[in-house]
Amino acid sequence: MWSRLLPLSLFVLLGILLAVGLKLSDTKSNIPSPLIGKPVPDFELPMLFQPDTELTQKDLQGQPYLANFWASWCVTCVVEHPILTELAEMNRLKIVGFNFRDEPADAMRWLETHGNPYDLHLTDHDGRTSINFGVYAAPESFLVNPEGEVVYKQIGALTSEVIENDILPMVAAMEGTR
Amino acid sequence: MKPTVMAVLLVLFSAPGVAQLQTDQEPLVFSSAAEEQRFNQLTEELRCLVCQNQNLADSDAPLAHDLRHEIHDMMQAGQSNEEIKQFLMQRYGDFVLYRPPVQGNTLILWFAPAALLLIGAATVYFSVTRRKRLLAGQEPGDGD
């Protein structure tokens, strides 16, 4: 009896393994960020609209903000744009644009055509800061708490669900603990 | 007439070559062959985060290009392979390594093949000895 059931149970086990693998493959491309729970990487970047002024991570500390890495060459950023605009209209947290691997002129033109939901805009021309943040896709967003620590990372475009279910509750929690 | 046609053809067919060259404007310069070999070995062990089934050495993605430069600069600054891997792991996590470290969540990955081989060997051993025993038990009966 036992030897008859063995092949069947092995087959069921294999089926479960494949099902789990298939489920995981959806999220496989989303590499968990080792940055979560850690302070934001150091940076010193010029502002897009005032290139003579440079800001560091310390200048942004004191309130929660969303660091959004985008570029004018990024197709998904256009998809994300209305969602970001919605978030900006809620006025719950600052949105800081990190325009990376891009030309400032192209970035400004992009913002002119699509509208500018960002409270603040920095230029990461050579992409060095994006490497320090571990950015490998565009767009990517990091939620930073008032203490300057990364609490959440979204790879790819933000969605209304992510904002409703993840970002806004986290911002509310930050405000609650202050 | 013919030289003009030739010229047009040349321009047309050389265009892709030019475009290829522009992606790698500054070729990496190494001070020695040993250093170059070390660089090649290291970038083959590291994953390109954009096209995740390629390593940094092979990938043509802009990020891979930048990371190769970063690794090159770090090597020039005298940093060890371990320090360079740490730099990348702090930013991109263990996933950047093609050879993951042996730790709690990678035990199955590292030891499952050996365990499966052992199970297979044990199964073969036991079925063979059982068969032998059965055959040995039969022989005296056959002789009678």
The shortest C-alpha distance from A83 to chain B (Å) reads 24
Judge contact between B87 and B74, C-beta under 8 A. yes
Interface contact A34-B93, CB threshold 8 A: yes
- Average the pLDDT over A167-177 and give the result: 88
> How many angstroms separate the CA atoms of A103 and A125, rounded?
7
pLDDT in tens, A108-164: 999 999 999 999 999 999 999 999 999 988 899 999 999 999 999 998 899 999 999
Q: Which residue of A has its CA nearest to B63?
A: A136
ipTM over 0.85: no
Which residue matches tokens 């149970």?
Answer: A9
- pLDDT below 50 — which residues of chain B? 15-23, 143-144
Q: Residue A37: is its pLDDT beyond 50?
A: yes
The predicted structure's pLDDT at residue A169? 94
- Which of B46, B50, B63, B131 to mutate to test binding with chain A, by most A CBs within 10 Å of its CB? B63
Q: Residue A49: is its pLDDT beyond 70?
A: yes
Across chain A, what does the average pLDDT equal? 91
The predicted structure's pLDDT at residue B143? 46
Its sign, for the CA torsion B93, B95, B100, B102, is positive
Q: Which residue of A has its CA nearest to B87?
A: A132
Cα separation of the two ends of chain B: 103
Band of residue A178 on the pLDDT scale cut at 50, 70, 90:
low
CB-nearest partner of B52 from A29, A131, A132: A29
pTM of the predicted model over 0.90: no
Judge contact between B91 and A35, C-beta under 8 A. yes
Check residues B12 and A82 and name the one with the higher pLDDT: A82
Q: Residue A29: is its pLDDT beyond 60?
A: no
